[in-house]
Amino acid sequence: MDKPENANAMPPRLVASSPKVERGNDKKLDSCEQPQGGRLDTFRLWTYTSLGDAVQIPTVSFDDMGPPGEDSRWESRRMLHDYLKHRFPRAHTTLTRTTVNHFGLAFHWQGSDPSVRPILLTAHQDVTPVDPESEHDWIYPPFSGHYDGDRIWGRGSGDNKSGVIGILTAIETVIEAGFQPSRTIVIAFGMDEERGGKDGGPAMSDYLRNTYGTDGFAMLVDEGYGFQQRGGILFSTPAVAEKGAYNVRIDVSAPGGHPMIPPRHTSIGILSSIIHTLESRPSPVQLNRDSPAFASLLCRAAYDETLPSHLRPLISRAQRHDTALRSLIQALLDLDSGYWSAVLGTTQAADLIGGGMTVNTLPQAAWAILDHRIADWSSISQLQFHYRSLLQPLLSSHNLTLDAFGDGDLSQKYDVHLSNAYGVLLEPSPVSPTMGRKAWGLLSGVIKDSLAHTQKSVVVSPVLALGNTDTRHYWALTRYIFRYSHINEADFQGGHGVNESIRGEAFIEMIRFYGHLILGADESDLEE
């Protein structure tokens, strides 16, 4: 946790201009911060249009897409690439652009000092599909990119074309200001993050590692959480770790036949019983004192006026006493929002199900797929053990046999199979170091500096990400991975759902952050 400081007190390294940037150019970079008349209005509308035009290109990722270069649905990325080249000519002239596995984009801006490691800024080009049945619920069409005078609307306006356009806008602006980096800057735009980065993530990771080496970057900033106002303080919450992911497929086989004399349980009934058992006995929860979740609680106890008062003494005592720690866990679960059970344990969601062919035929097969986000303290093997321990007694009571994750005899026929669906196999991530580390200090300072105009105190607190980003593929590139989108979370709505949109002023805030991060990294010693 970084202690709050008055927003007027900027970190010294960000007050002084870079030796390569004159103060006049600094003011040019900051032209989007203070109202200055017509030029500012022109800049804002230009940025809103940049994002809106990008939203109009439907770079949708589908689970069943074929290999890049073979499935025509990838081609929308090429349209986006052409648009970016047209919209950001300085960035494309100054930086070297490389295409990775057909549709991933990497940009290289060579710094003058080869002895320092680059920073890596990442985002993703793709978006989630829009349910056709929901299109009539959108205020503006989902790929309109419409700006209504306050918000930019459409799929990707927040997740995550705002990151792509925000980074390139900041790059374009500092180039115009005459900036020349001493530290190399690398940008990577994934092409299929919304489907787990299956084709884009490994290819981009291999390219970056082959080019810059293992642990070749001083730090990495990707999309993630933003900041929120709690009482009179802005809480900024970069995620320093993320949960694992594993999709379990359950297949139930049973004799078919005529339903006029049905068995006690059909395959669909057995599958229903399995799901009911899993949902009624979820994975356990746990809170460790060295976890990002506990660090976040300590930070909130110290500075969050909105924290329920009964939690503050519990959090304090839980630092030293196990009994208090157990009481704290229960108190958090009793808040009953579902949030803390997701933070402290492995989640499960039955998302897909199928079975049966006609109403006049017993179903020979039924299947379901459950999505799991694995707790930072747990593992895939623990999740598999949980399945075996719950389902083996249940199935034995029905005289059914179980093959759990391939541990059965290949020569035998089993009634129920558990397997990995879609190849999603992700352990919880490493935790990025924070307190006392230079990369965390830079990030915290840049966040506070970027929010200086709000005149509010700012607290920067590490948290655990409940979802997954392309950083799942980048662990070997740096120890310092921060998942953070510099946006007031109240200004973004509808992610992965209906009426996705972002306030125009919030988008300007993101661009401000990226610009300050680029300058701050250039002036900072990031080597430990």
Any domain includes 522: no
Any domain includes 492: yes
- Do residues 74 and 148 both lie within one domain? yes
- Do residues 95 and 211 both lie within one domain? yes
pLDDT digits (tens, 9 = 90+) for 456-466: 999 999 999 99
Q: Which amino acid is at 74?
A: W
- Do residues 175 and 306 both lie within one domain? no
Q: Is 136 annotated as a binding residue?
A: no
Chain centroid, CA 367 distance in Å: 29
pLDDT digits (tens, 9 = 90+) for 147-170: 999 999 999 999 999 999 999 999
Two tokens, residue 277: 């058992």
> Of 281, 278, 291, 345, nearest to 318 (Cα)?
291
φ and ψ of 217, to 5 deg = -120, 145
Q: Is 124 annotated as a binding residue?
A: yes
The more confidently predicted of residues 439 and 410 is 439
Give the Cβ contact number of residue 308 at 10 Å.
12
Per-residue confidence at 12, pLDDT binned at 50, 70, 90? Answer: very low
Give the Cβ contact number of residue 423 at 10 Å.
8
Q: What is the CATH number of the domain that holds 420?
A: 3.30.70.360
- Do residues 191 and 265 both lie within one domain? no
Q: What is the mean pLDDT of residues 511-516?
A: 97
Two tokens, residue 130: 């829009």
- Do residues 226 and 254 both lie within one domain? no
Give the Cβ contact number of residue 101 at 10 Å.
18
Give the Cβ contact number of residue 430 at 10 Å.
13
Quick one: pLDDT at residue 32?
A: 34
Q: Which domain holds residue 394?
A: 244-426
- Do residues 261 and 381 both lie within one domain? yes
Q: Check: CB of residue 512 under 8 Å from CB of residue 32.
A: yes
Q: What is the mean pLDDT of residues 22-42?
A: 44
- Do residues 175 and 93 both lie within one domain? yes
* Span of 27-36, 135-144, 410-419, 516-525 with lowest mean pLDDT: 27-36
By the 10 Å C-beta count (0-12 exposed, 13-18 middle, 19+ buried), 117 is classed as buried
Any domain includes 524: no
Q: Check: CB of residue 110 under 8 Å from CB of residue 180.
A: no
Any domain includes 92: yes
Is 336 strand, coil or helix? coil
Any domain includes 523: no
Q: How many domains does the chain fold into?
A: 2
Using the predicted structure, report yes or no on whether residue 127 has a pLDDT greater than 80: yes
- Do residues 230 and 269 both lie within one domain? no
- Do residues 332 and 380 both lie within one domain? yes
Contact partners, residue 490, CB within 8 Å, separation at least 6: 228, 229
Q: Check: CB of residue 287 under 8 Å from CB of residue 212.
A: no
- Do residues 361 and 441 both lie within one domain? no
Quick one: pLDDT at residue 19?
A: 29
CA dist 12 to 8, 379, 441, Å? 12, 42, 12
CA dist 186 to 99, 121, 196, 198, Å? 13, 6, 22, 21
Q: What is the mean pLDDT of residues 330-354?
A: 94
How far is residue 28's CA from residue 47's CA, in Å, rounded to a whole number?
Answer: 15
> Of 268, 280, 274, 284, nearest to 248 (Cα)?
274
Q: What is the CATH number of the domain that holds 489?
A: 3.40.630.10
| Mean pLDDT over the full length of the chain | 91
Quick one: pLDDT at residue 4?
A: 58
Residue where one domain finishes, among candidates 392, 426, 460: 426
Any domain includes 442: yes
Q: Check: CB of residue 374 under 8 Å from CB of residue 383.
A: yes
Q: Is 53 annotated as a binding residue?
A: no
Two tokens, residue 475: 């662990």
Quick one: pLDDT at residue 440?
A: 98
Using the predicted structure, report yes or no on whether residue 246 has a pLDDT greater than 60: yes
Quick one: pLDDT at residue 160?
A: 96
Any domain includes 528: no
Percent of the chain whose predicted confidence (pLDDT) is above 90? 85
- Do residues 338 and 290 both lie within one domain? yes
Any domain includes 31: yes
Residue where one domain finishes, among candidates 426, 448, 475: 426
Quick one: pLDDT at residue 391?
A: 97
- Do residues 68 and 151 both lie within one domain? yes
Residue where one domain finishes, among candidates 405, 426, 447: 426
Q: Which amino acid is at 353?
A: I
> Of 74, 65, 72, 109, nearest to 91 (Cα)?
109
Catalytic (active-site) positions = 126, 193
Quick one: pLDDT at residue 3?
A: 60
